[in-house]
A and B are shown apart, each in its own frame.
Chain A
Amino acid sequence: MSAAATTLAHEVPPQAGPRAFLHRLRQGDQIAHLLTLTFAAVILLLTSMLVYELWINSHLSRTQFGWAFFWTKVWDPNFDNFGAAPFIYGTLVTSAVALLLAVPLGLASAIFLSELAPRKVSDSISFLIDLLAAVPSVIYGLLGIFIVVPLMRTTLGPLLINTVGNVPYIGVLFRGPNYGVGFLTAGIVLAIMVVPFIISVSREVLLTVPREQREAAMALGATRWESTWQVVVPWARTGIMGSVFLALARALGETMAVTMVIGNAAAIKASLLAPGDTIASTIANQFTEATGDLYLSSLIELGLVLFLITFILNGLARILIVATERGGGRPA
């Protein structure tokens, strides 16, 4: 329909020349076109400026530390020595914990909503889950500080130390002092925050799987679960991966809730119960206190790193989701 409209506007014979242009200008078409085009270009301009500002303002830090910034484990504002390794580690660990908890929970819920629940129930639950996604991050932080942290300190932490902590190999993850704040607490809060995104995207993708696929599997004698797990989910796997990438991108960039429960310590510790810091929480905590140009520049370089990571992940996620919705996710 809009194709027809496009030809209408552009099918002015070329020999009409400047008069036709004036005519269209007077009618406002060209003005409207140019005006809206300008505002569309503003978005491109803003995004390029964002990259430019991050790049320029991190210049000091980039020239001073070079690539070593990424593996230097020291972050010492007093001696102007900055390395991002503890924060990159913290970001990866908290996001990994979050995904480990959120993916099974989210996928199971999405399966329930798309395969089992009657459409009405499914829609109203999805609505509530959308509301959950709208809850501001600082509110999650508030609940994290006053509910999850005490729970971790008094109940969950000691429980983990006394049980899983004694298991060889993985026990290392649950040892040492338990303050309630730390990687695990941040991961749990993050998991709750990203679950709604996994559910809503996965549900959409699962709903696009053709009905015949389910019917064929059930006609061959598969149970409901077998048809879901061996036919429907593999069909939608690319899109589900996309939803996981999207959730990961959110988890990596999430700031407030993490800042409030991670304990804020620039340290790499094997134990998940130890306090740490992520890239985003470091920026949030220290930006206003940054005295000295190199300090500020290093924080901005952290921002640049975060931007690049989420940029790549978001791109991948979109490609995967589009690929499945076009039916490219067929199992081999």
Chain B
Amino acid sequence: MSALRITWRKSLNFVMLTLTGVAAFAVVSVLFLILGYLIWNGGASLSWKFFTQLPKPVGETGGGMANAIVGSLKLLFLAAVMGLPVGLLAGVYLAEFGGKTFSFIVRYTTDLLNGVPSIVIGIFAYSLAVLPVKHFSALAGGVALGIMVIPITVRSTEEFLRAVPGNMREAAMALGASRWKTIATVVLPAASGGILTGMLLALARVAGETAPLLFTAFGNRFWSQGWGQPIASLPVMIYTYAVAPYDDWHRQAWAAGLVLLGLVLLSNLGARFILARSKVV
């Protein structure tokens, strides 16, 4: 009886532990499946034309997504210009100046903003930047992505500033440096690797965002005519092409997916590389 029970407990132990391992490897294999499918399907349709040509009119095969690649970069630029400074300075406030109650409120609100579904951010950017002027624009898309960049930058900036040892601050101030001089010349440089990593990760995250662009930046089959006009972006192109009924568009969607995923994963790897190298400080 008791020997049987021990055998039962031991086999249960073995089975369950094995299952946890199977689960972990199953999840990881999804990443390789995704990569494999994209390289297999996208690699075949990827060509020089994809990077240099405009989309062809409906019905014609060929063409590329040059405008969407440039569009995505432009949108990222806008997001960086609008979101990163706010995130950086608010992060400095939380780490270096913040009091108790106000900091708590800011921190909580930041987390809240981080959790807002991207489609809702899209509605917000729409009412801020599209409704008043009555047309879609690259600027509105930049606003949407910029808002999404802020919370991620704030939290990573604060975290890495807090990791700077207190005696570095004290040493600078003992030498007569004022508070902001200490922050600007000692603390920020010491944490710069981490802060940069955070910014890069924030941009990598919004680079793949589609939902907030659908009704802000909209989309464009040609080169954009300026910041105030609709603009194409890779994620929106992937969506439009994937749900369209044309085989040639599907091939292009795979290629665009491969380019986008490559961009996102490489910046993630790059961010980690910067972080690993700057840990020495």
Contacts and interface: CB of A to CB of B under 8 A. Distances in A.
A156 interface: no
B260 A136 contact: yes
A135 B34 contact: yes
Nearest to A38: B89
A310 B115 contact: yes
A68 interface: no
A253 B111 contact: no
B210 A137 contact: yes
B117 interface: yes
Given A199-B24, A280-B117, A314-B115, 17 more contacts: A2-B162, A5-B166, A33-B93, A40-B93, A40-B106, A53-B127, A134-B265, A139-B38, A142-B257, A146-B250, A223-B10, A253-B117, A256-B210, A256-B235, A280-B119, A287-B215, A318-B111
Interface stretch (B15-23, B52-60, B73-81, B221-229): B15-23
B19 A53 contact: no
Contacts of A111: 20
Contacts of A42: 86, 90
Contact of B21 (A112, A135, A192, A311): A112
B160 interface: no
A21 interface: no
A130 B28 CA distance: 10
Contacts of B270: none
B4 interface: no
A325 to B, nearest CB: 15
B260 A253 contact: no
Contacts of A299: 123
Interface stretch (B43-51, B190-198, B237-245): B237-245
A43 B113 contact: yes
A292 B272 CA distance: 48
Interface in A107-153: 108-109, 111-113, 115-117, 125, 127-132, 134-139, 141-143, 145-147
A37 interface: yes
B129 to A, nearest CB: 11
Interface stretch (A24-32, A75-83, A163-171, A234-242): A24-32
Contacts of B167: 1
A116 B21 contact: yes
A138 B239 contact: yes
A116 B235 contact: no
B54 to A, nearest CB: 21
B273 interface: no
Contacts of A139: 34, 38, 208, 238, 257, 260-261
A226 B23 CA distance: 18
A104 to B, nearest CB: 8
Query: Which 6 residue pairs are nearest across A and B when measured between Cβ atoms?
Result: A1-B166, A136-B208, A253-B117, A36-B93, A32-B180, A108-B23
B239 A141 contact: yes
B110 interface: yes
B20 A109 contact: yes
Contact of B24 (A2, A44, A109, A260): A109
A209 interface: no
Interface on chain B toward A: helix, strand, loop, or mixed SS? helix
A36 B96 contact: yes
Given A1-B166, A46-B150, A314-B111, A283 B180 contact: no
A71 interface: no
B254 A142 contact: yes
A249 interface: yes
Interface residues of B, number: 98
A135 B261 contact: yes
Contact of A288 (B19, B21, B184, B215): B215
5 contacts: A35-B89, A137-B208, A223-B13, A229-B16, A284-B211
B238 A225 contact: no
Given A138-B238, A139-B261, A226-B13, A300 B117 contact: no
B183 interface: yes
A67 interface: no
Given A27-B180, A32-B179, A134-B265, A54 B24 contact: no
A147 B37 contact: yes
A37 B97 contact: yes
Contacts of A130: 268
Given A116-B17, A136-B260, A255 B211 contact: yes
Contact of B170 (A1, A138, A303): A1
A105 interface: yes
Nearest to B265: A131
A287 B110 CA distance: 27
A199 B165 CA distance: 31
B12 A225 contact: yes
Contact of B214 (A109, A134, A225, A288): A288
Nearest to B214: A284
Of residues A44, A135, A314, which shows the largest number of chain B Cβ atoms within 10 Å of its Cβ? Answer: A135
B235 A138 contact: yes
A307 B116 contact: yes
Of residues B20, B150, B167, B253, which shows the largest number of chain A Cβ atoms within 10 Å of its Cβ? Answer: B20
A65 B126 CA distance: 23
B169 A112 contact: no
B179 to A, nearest CB: 4
A36 B103 CA distance: 12
A44 to B, nearest CB: 5
Contacts of A8: 173, 179
Contacts of B95: 2
A57 interface: yes
